[in-house]
């Protein structure tokens, strides 16, 4: 059995990146920016959701929209920077989780959208 190298494991992964916005329009604007830069293959906006959190010593409650982006670990740093640069929040929530399974057709489609196949050649 051929042994996989660490890089090969990373290349097989996809990530889901979540962030929240006060308005649906802000979520749509940022989604468009990261999609145009090919840092995500798909964006989903859901909500409004009720968020309860600590902010500057006070317990806050707000209605927010959740933006979930389908992406790849290879472009995560660029994606995070694009979110920070374009997010209206002072300290945006940016949480990435890896997936344990993904259909091969969807993975291939996502790789094509992000030009990940070019990374495999290097």
pLDDT tens readout for residues 71-113? 999 999 999 999 999 999 999 999 999 998 889 899 999 999 9
How is residue 13 annotated by DSSP?
-
8 Å CB contact between 110 and 116: yes
Q: Is the pLDDT of residue 63 over 70?
A: yes
- Beta strands per DSSP E along 1-122: 15-21, 42-55, 58-71, 95-98
Give the helix/strand (H/E) hosting 76. helix 76-86
Instruction: Enumerate domains of the chain plus CATH numbers.
Output: 14-112 (3.30.70.120)
Tell the residue number behind the tokens 């317990």, with chain if given: 59
CA distance 59 to 55: 6
pLDDT tens across 23-51, in order? 999 999 999 999 999 999 999 999 999 99
Tell me, what's the pLDDT at 58? 97
Tell me, what's the pLDDT at 122? 42
The two tokens of residue 85 are: 């640069």
Geometric angle at alpha carbon 72, from 68 and 74, rounded to 5°: 140
Tell me, what's the pLDDT at 72? 94
Tell me, what's the pLDDT at 13? 86
């Amino acid at each position: 059995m051929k042994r996989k190298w660490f890089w090969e494991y990373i290349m097989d992964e996809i990530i889901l990146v979540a962030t929240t916005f006060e308005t649906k329009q802000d979520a749509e604007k940022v989604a468009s920016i990261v999609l145009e830069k090919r840092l995500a293959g798909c964006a989903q906006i859901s909500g409004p959701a009720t968020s309860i959190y600590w902010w500057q010593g006070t317990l806050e409650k707000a209605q927010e929209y959740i933006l979930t982006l389908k992406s790849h670990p290879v472009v995560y740093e660029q994606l995070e920077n694009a979110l920070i640069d374009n997010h209206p929040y002072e300290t945006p929530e940016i949480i990435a989780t890896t997936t344990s399974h993904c259909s091969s057709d969807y993975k291939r489609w996502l790789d094509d959208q992000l030009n990940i196949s070019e990374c495999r050649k290097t």
